Chain A
Amino acid sequence: MDSLKEDLKKQIIEQLNLEDLTVADIADDALLFNDQGLGLDSIDALELIVLLEKYHGIQLTNPEEGKEAFKSVDTMAAYIRKRKAA
């Protein structure tokens, strides 16, 4: 099991107050901003930027990067690894 993805799911649930969800409810490839996935909105996108800095020390300043990074838990984990490796 990928612990970064598990941590991300816990952090998303806490940061966005997704009280009815558990880690098991969030698939790695579920689209975060799609009603078929988590159905997040623009305020949640800002909360995810805060999450990246708060838990991972990463500042996301380029909105285009965010669009790609916040597609799913998979893409968020990949973005975090890429930034930490740089």
Chain B
Amino acid sequence: MSKPALYLSAASTISHQPTFGNPGFSAALGPVEASSALISPDYKAYIDAGLLRRMSKILRMSVACAKDCVGQAGIGQPDAIVVGTGLGCLQDTEKFLNTSLTVEGLLPPTSFIQSTHNTMAGQISLSLGNHGYNMTHTQNTLSFEHALLDASMLLREGDRHVLVGAADEHIDILDDIAGRLAFKSDAPLTSGASFFMLSAENQGNAKASLADVYTSGGAGYGQEEIDAFLDRNGLQPGDIDLLLYAGTPAAGVPVQDAKRSLDYLSLIGVYPTASAFALHYAMDLLGANSEVRNVLICNTLRKSNLGLTLLKAVEA
């Protein structure tokens, strides 16, 4: 039985591409360059200078996107804040660990406090003055999908608006680690943060409808899971106007009969929660192209994990 749809009314992404404050970006986005850098907005427009100086890259990205998103949605306060992150606050973790190698006495408090994965959700809450439910999910490459599932359950239990998003940051040592692990990808390792306002009802400003989310992790996925997901949503592969998938799965493109397929890692680079960018990309495309009705995001970044997110155009 299909569940009632939820509605996405706002989205904000800071990445290596011109995504922030740039509606319609999906039409002009080319492949991300290996030499690209994070495109940061003027953070002072979103974060108090006193707080900003203590914030690492991932915190700045997350808080700025979250505040931008709340502003776009025109909602005073969301009922809950839910964040997904694969690797958490790496910059502060690295700083804290490096200092612990060289300093014997007191260790730096700021980087210690801010090295935990739930710092983003906490800082967003402090910046907004929000006292609602505050949760962080870290499930490797499925962290964002788990945040979406949590947000969806909250809305189906009575919440009206949930701020949900994901962020991961690149630090130099990741390139070294990726090399040692023989990680191969055509796309570079990058940073990114994407936040969304997910609501139980369409207030007239919904840009897309979130129809379903599914995760499967740990043992490798099979094509039958994707088929079952489409089936439970009353869709055939040919009904998918756009398939967004991660990388080049060994088994080939996950839904062969989709009308159009695109590897979203080629646009945004590789980070554990890159599927959050794919959701924003799909929203942006649905808002600009009336011929696109159904978008399936197939998160196959890690071969043992499968994340499926189905987005639909909002019915007029």
- Interface residues of A, Cβ cutoff 8 Å to B: 15-20, 39, 43, 46-47, 49-50, 53-54, 59, 61
Q: B161 CB to closest chain A CB, in angstroms?
A: 33
Question: Which of chain A's residues have a CB closer than 8 A to the CB of B49?
Answer: 20
Our pick among B50, B52, B53, B107 for the contact of A50 (Cβ within 8 Å) is: B107
B106 touches A18 (CB 8 A): no
Question: Which of chain A's residues have a CB closer than 8 A to the CB of B53?
Answer: 16-20
Distance between Cα atoms of A43 and B109 in the complex (Å): 7
Question: Which of chain A's residues have a CB closer than 8 A to the CB of B104?
Answer: 53, 59
Distance between Cα atoms of A54 and B95 in the complex (Å): 13
Q: B106 CB to closest chain A CB, in angstroms?
A: 5
* 15 A–B contacts from the bound complex (CB under 8 Å): A17-B53, A19-B52, A39-B50, A43-B109, A47-B108, A47-B110, A49-B105, A50-B106, A50-B108, A53-B103, A53-B104, A53-B106, A54-B99, A54-B102, A61-B105
A49 touches B110 (CB 8 A): no
How many chain B residues touch the partner (CB < 8 A)?
15
B103 touches A54 (CB 8 A): yes
Is residue B131 contacting chain A, with contact meaning CB distance below 8 A?
A: no
Q: B105 CB to closest chain A CB, in angstroms?
A: 5
Contacts A18-B53, A49-B105, A53-B106 aside, 15 further interface pairs with beta carbons under 8 A come to: A16-B53, A19-B53, A43-B54, A43-B109, A43-B110, A47-B108, A49-B106, A50-B99, A50-B103, A53-B103, A53-B104, A53-B105, A54-B103, A59-B104, A61-B105
Question: Which of chain A's residues have a CB closer than 8 A to the CB of B50?
Answer: 39
B98-119 CB contact bits vs A (8 Å, 1 = yes)? 0100111111111000000000
Given contacts A19-B53, A20-B49, whether A46 and B109 have CB atoms under 8 Å apart is yes
Q: A70 CB to closest chain B CB, in angstroms?
A: 14
Residue of B nearest to A59 (CB): B105
The 8 closest A-B CB pairs, nearest first, are A17-B53, A46-B109, A59-B105, A50-B108, A53-B105, A49-B106, A53-B103, A54-B103
Distance between Cα atoms of A53 and B103 in the complex (Å): 7
Distance between Cα atoms of A47 and B49 in the complex (Å): 18
Question: Which of chain B's residues have a CB closer than 8 A to the CB of A53?
Answer: 103-106
Residue of B nearest to A20 (CB): B49
Question: Which of chain A's residues have a CB closer than 8 A to the CB of B54?
Answer: 17, 43
Q: A37 CB to closest chain B CB, in angstroms?
A: 14
Residue of B nearest to A15 (CB): B108
